[in-house]
Structure 1
């Protein structure tokens, strides 16, 4: 049985706890205890979260854990001498160590990311890079694995990171089932997916437009004309086009194009699907059309992005 620990510090963000849910649901799915999860802190006892709730924690013992996550907080956490010793001890005894969002500052401050690739939330990447020049900062990823060190960009992206760990442990089928139970779209995002996507930058404000975006993501291979999307929204074509642009800053056609591109890039860099299959599944008429779209949007064709992604994974695997 693998023991999974989440280290929390005062004023931690409770979203960090969701990471443990991945392993908890894996136990339920398996009908037995594959993982033992616990929340830990320097000395154990109650630790206050950012909005006042207290979590009961166990005292950290470095010899107990297979995987240790370092939780996130809204402020950059301070590394105490006791926490430094604990993290260094974990680095010597665990199979995996991972930071959630700004938890990367704790690992870096302890010297545990020196010479490694890592990421953190996009809003703090420049500060992180300036403070820790020995760390190779990856800006355009939602999580990064470098050997036994993992780091996630934000709080929610730690779930994608945990699902990737679950896939390593139990295989892709187990990860798919857990993601479905957690109602996570496309079962999980790959680590190479950018932190800032088009509809994070341009979110929908109303349920009708949000439902249209959900429909687009679920039906990329379909003919997503403005007429058909207006039917999904139960609006006239003219009213729909105006409302969609007002809420997202994009025309419906441009949103469809960007979602197709982002999804195709994710499959290119993280799946074993052929380029032909990806073009078909994401709604491009043919691979050549997808290639031209990639060149315009990313400056590189799909094959180049795939080689780059494979090179990064091979480099990580050899560490």
Structure 2
């Protein structure tokens, strides 16, 4: 009889409890349908830890090399502070011999500090993907991915994306039929539509340094429905279209057209959140029509405005 597949979670003081419980529930549920996963919780010293919610988490033992699957959950304090060297060193131990190594949410920062993401594709929570890229300059960070596989290394986005990752791992082991049963039992999607951009906040970032460019961005933000063609925007500053394009490129790393599109997209998304119809949102946000807005949603979120609204306009059920 084959031995159980070991799934080891690295836990430590401050660990995000849902990053552990969500994926663990997937593996436990899979056992109901014929899988054989053995879940272990390992801490740096073998002592119990306290989660981010203040709950005590009992562990099975100290970190040790082993086979199977090894997962590193995140914590609220990363990446606001560097990963301590002793924590990174402890996190490195169970990776030795593991068939698969993965992280949930900001657990990617621990993998990066342990040198386990060097030269690999990776992701983390959408709010801090830029920080992961800075912390791990050899990584190729994919900001919109729900999870990323690079060989036997896996990283996932924020919090509940750990469930998506765990389902993908179960499917690798047992195929889509068993995994579909698990997803149905847990009332989650077998495969979530779209990337994590659909969950991100509206356009945010530092204002342009140049007063001239700030004039243009304020103009677009104040009136997204206006005529914001490249020529019209350049006229407001009495500069050439080439000069204005260069200002956007140098300060905002985008083009005037893409900036206008992003502002309109963020406004349309907010309008959908507030219950406006897709047609109303397209008009109020300044899109030429619904089809134009639909193309932008498909490009940015991989879902339609209607699908976005079903997911995020309300949590109420009639």
Shorter-chain TM-score category?
0.5 to 0.7
- Is the partner of 2:173 in helix, strand or coil? helix
Hey, what does 1:63 align to over in structure 2?
A: 65
Distance of 1:147 and 1:83 partners within structure 2: 24
2:164 aligned to which of 160, 173, 182:
160
- Is the partner of 1:93 in helix, strand or coil? coil
Hey, what does 2:49 align to over in structure 1?
A: 47
Hey, what does 2:195 align to over in structure 1?
A: 194
1:2 aligns with 2:27: no
Distance of 1:155 and 1:166 partners within structure 2: 18
User: Gapped runs of 5+ residues in structure 2?
Assistant: 203-269, 283-290, 303-318
Distance of 2:281 and 2:180 partners within structure 1: 25
> Is the CA contact (8 Å cut-off) linking 1:60 and 1:86 kept in structure 2?
no
Deviations 1:60-86 (A, max 9, x none): 343334011101211117544443334
Hey, what does 2:228 align to over in structure 1?
A: none
Distance of 1:21 and 1:169 partners within structure 2: 16
Per-residue deviation at 1:112? 0.8
Q: TM-score, normalised by structure 2?
A: 0.62
> Is the CA contact (8 Å cut-off) linking 1:45 and 1:57 kept in structure 2?
yes
Shift in alpha-carbon separation, 1:126–1:81, aligned structure 2, 3 A = closer
Shift in alpha-carbon separation, 1:252–1:108, aligned structure 2, 3 A = same
1:183 aligns with 2:187: yes
Per-residue deviation at 1:89? 3.1
User: Gapped runs of 5+ residues in structure 1?
Assistant: 203-244, 258-289, 303-319
> Is the CA contact (8 Å cut-off) linking 2:65 and 2:96 kept in structure 1?
no
1:92 aligns with 2:93: no
Q: TM-score, normalised by structure 1?
A: 0.62
Distance of 1:169 and 1:51 partners within structure 2: 32
1:249 aligns with 2:241: no
Hey, what does 1:15 align to over in structure 2?
A: 18
- Is the partner of 1:85 in helix, strand or coil? helix
1:119 aligned to which of 90, 107, 123:
123
Distance of 2:41 and 2:91 partners within structure 1: 15
Structure number with bigger Rg: 2
